[in-house]
Every structure is written in structure tokens, then in C-alpha cells.
Structure 1
Amino acid sequence: MKEKILVIEDEKRIARFLQLEFEHEGYKVVIEYNGDIGLKRAFEEKFDLIILDIMLPGLNGFEILSEIRKKSDVPVIILTAKDEVKDKVTGLDIGADDYLTKPFSIEELMARVRNALRKHNKVNTKKLSYAGITMDLSTYKVTRDGKEVELTKKEFDLLKYLIINAGIVLSREKILENVWDYNYFGETNIVDVYIRYLRSKIDDPFDKKLIQTIRGVGYSLREGNNED
């Protein structure tokens, strides 16, 4: 069954365009033009993703997002004409999964929708897997090629983040923000230390190396040659 998307957008031309494009891709689409009604609809039905404008009659997009995040982790992509950095920061800090400004490319929006859905589905599953690595999130059991691998809690969290973002180059700062937290005041080399710990357990005993160093940037979990 294809995912169900809620579009909260007061410009009817844009809303209709999005509906046609999403339905062409096989998604189910519900449209609301008012912020208050849109929020009510978001709580009344189960949606897999929400496309949210900021400037709306009734509640604005930031208010809607804030209320949604009190009860749900449904992926939300803000789609708006407000392109100032402070608006993007506000949206992302409140809990938006992505932020795209108008005018926009429908191909780019579709790619961001697929990415948000993919990440959400990975996070909410009880098991993650990639290239022979399997993680059971309920038992903290990790195996690679059928062999059990013992990890500490922080190593487990780091591997989980790498798998969720497999194929994406992640900076040390980005890893710190997501595996440690925003309040961590140590040096970013703690990431390098834990990458070494993780490699010694998940990579070194195996022929195929998966944790790749991207020189001058950070790390990526992917199959291919290591640039280090």
C-alpha cells in the first residue's frame, strides 16, 4: 500500500498541482487549505508524511508543526515562500524533517519526500540492515554476515545512525549532533575515536570494508573504496 500524504497549503493552484503529481506517483493525497482544519485532520487520521506551508489562514505552519511534534514523529516537509535563514532555522528547530522554498522543482520535492519516508521507516522498524549488518533495536543484538558483534551503547548508537543514513556523507559535527547531543562540549575527534572502535569490530574482521572516510569531510557507511 502506497503512503498517505497530507498537504496543508492555502494556494489552491499549488495544492492541486501537488495532488496530481503525488497521485501520479501512487501516493494517496488529502488536501487542507486552512491551518486549524489541517491540524485537526492531522490528528484525526494516520498520515505517512505532511507537506506544510507556513503562511496559512488560521494557525500558521510553525504553530501546526509545534502541535504535531507534541504527539507525533510523522515526517513533515515545510514548503513555503519564506526563504530567510531564520525561518529555516525555526522550522528545523521545531522539528521539520526538511525545508524547501518556492518556487521549487517537483523532482527535488519528490526526492525529499522519498528520503524522509525512507528515514522514518528505518527509524521506526525494530530491525535495521545494510550490506550484511543486522541490528535488532529491541535486543541491541548486532550481527554481520551472521556473526554476532558486541558493541557498547555508544557504538550501537553510532552504527544505527550510519545505517539510517547509509550512502550519505556525514560530517563529524553532524554525527556529534545526532549520536551525542547538542549539549556536548567535547572535541569532534571523539567521533574519530568511536569510528575506530566501531571499525575494529564491524569492519576489521571482515574482507569488505563499509565505514568509509571521506577526507576533509567526515564518514559514510557504503560499499566501495575507502578514500582514507
Structure 2
Amino acid sequence: MEELKVLVVDDESRMRKLVKDFLNKKGFIVLEAADGEEAIDIFFSDNSINLLILDVMMPKMDGWEVVKEVRKVSKVPIIMLTARGQEQDELLGFELGVDEYISKPFSPKILVARVEAILRRSNQLNEDVIEAGGITLDITAHKVLIEETEVELSYKEFELLTYFMKNQNVALSREKILNHVWNYDYFGDARTIDTHVKKLRSKLGDKGEYIRTVWGMGYKFEVNQ
């Protein structure tokens, strides 16, 4: 993977270290800032930052003020972290141009998965081959291997598996899946998704269990650890 740079902004040093360690393991370069003012200084002095992870409550300048300043000059992806978990905070974040919103406490693995998913959507993180739990998906060759044995998938099944594997550990609603895989808004019968998921699970054999049902919402691709 091309080395991408993430700026982590949080006044808690332990939180910054936790996030940094998990991102480093995935090959990201991580810069740190302990408050909003330091974050602004770093961001405006380094034009190669690919994504920001911002805490909301910080001294000197809070996360909202940082977002406002950054959005004046850049559309760089931003993930907001907050301990409050209040709906009005989330709505404010999206109004200001925040890409993702994660409430503390959170799983570092989930955060990394969100980072990777956002960078893929913004075409900064491009992977021709994705591997997970014994499944190898070659996007360029349009081929899927399970433990080196090729599996024949229909076009939509391949697109569905690609979307799942690009968003590992992220719960995906049926609406999101339809918008990204079928490329249209769909608010009616969800059997289109469910039927394809059932067929895909069957073709993946034992690996089909990685596609887990999130009851009342949709699905999540999660490899057993």
C-alpha cells in the first residue's frame, strides 16, 4: 500500500498512541497534535496529509473550529471522535463537512476499517488485490480465490463481495449496499440484497460465515480472529 499520512488530534496522549499504533500496523504514517491550534499549525504546514482524526472536546481550539478552518481550504476526509454521543453533535459534524463520526469508547480495529473505507471512497487507497481470511479478491482480473481455488461468481456477486471486503468490520445497511452495488436509491423490498447474499454465502462455502447479518439493518463482513 502507498504510504498515506493521517493526522490524529486528541488531548489524551494515551488515545493518540492507541490510534497511532493500530494505524502504523496498517502502514500509515501518523502525525500527532494535542490540541486544535497545534492541529491547524501541522495541517497548514504539511500539504500531504490524507485524512484527519479529530476529537471534539480539546483545549485552545475544539474539533468543530478545526473542521471549520480546514474546510475553508480543503476537502480532506475527516473523522470526528466524541465521548458525548449526542445526535445534535453528529448532525453538526455532517453539516460542517465531517465524513465519519465515531463515539468513544470505540474499537481501534473499527476505526482503522473506517479510515481505510473512507480513503478508498476518496480514491486515495487503491487496492487491486484484497485478502482476508483465506479469500483473495483480484479486482483487475475479476477473480476470487478461496485457499487458491477459484470460485465462479456472477457480476453482482463479485461487486457485492468487493464492497464487503473493502468495508471489513463496518455494519452496512441494505440502503448503502444497494446504492453502492446497484447504483440507485432503493427503499422498497430488501429481497434483492438478501437473495444475492444467500447465493454469495453458499458459493463461499465455510467462508460465507464472514458475511454476518446485522439484524434490523443489513450485513457486516467480519473475519474470525
Output the TM-score relative to the length of structure 1: 0.62
What is the root-mean-square deviation of aligned Cα atoms in Å?
4.2
What percent of counterpart residues are identical?
26
Q: Which has the higher contact order (CA 8 A, sep 6+)?
A: 2
Contact 2:79 2:102 in 1 (8 A): yes
Q: In the alignment, which residue of structure 1 is the partner of 2:7?
A: 6
Partner of residue 184 from structure 1, selected from 180, 183, 186:
186
Distance 1:36 1:212 in 2: 40
CA deviations on 1:76-112 (whole Å, 9 max, x unpaired) are: 3213587552441353474523333xxx54xx37455
Corresponding pairs, count? 203
Distance 1:67 1:36 in 2: 12
CA deviations on 1:141-184 (whole Å, 9 max, x unpaired) are: 22223232333443222112222344565443443354345723
The alignment status of 1:116 with 2:114, answered yes or no, reads yes
Partner of residue 40 from structure 1, selected from 44, 60, 68:
44
Gaps of 5+ in 2: 25-29
Instruction: Give the counterpart letter for 2:47 in structure 1.
Output: E
Distance 1:168 1:63 in 2: 29
Cα 1:212–1:52, aligned 2, differ >3 Å: closer, same or farther? closer
Q: In the alignment, which residue of structure 2 is the partner of 1:127?
A: 129
- Rg larger in structure: 1
1:27-106 to 2 correspondence within 5 Å? Answer: 28-31=30-33, 33-34=36-37, 37=41, 39-41=43-45, 44-47=47-50, 49-51=52-54, 53=56, 56=62, 60-62=66-68, 64=70, 68-69=74-75, 72=76, 74=77, 76-80=78-82, 84-92=86-94, 94-100=97-103, 104-105=104-105
Instruction: Give the counterpart letter for 1:61 in structure 2.
Output: V
Distance 2:194 2:108 in 1: 34
CA deviations on 1:199-224 (whole Å, 9 max, x unpaired) are: 35x23xx4554355648444444568
Tell me the CA shift for residue 63 of structure 1: 6.0
Q: What is the DSSP-based 3-state SS (H/G/I as helix, E as strand, rest coil) of the residue aligned with 2:7?
A: strand
Gaps of 5+ in 1: 9-13
Q: In the alignment, which residue of structure 1 is the partner of 2:27?
A: none
Cα 1:154–1:87, aligned 2, differ >3 Å: closer, same or farther? farther
Contact 2:157 2:200 in 1 (8 A): yes
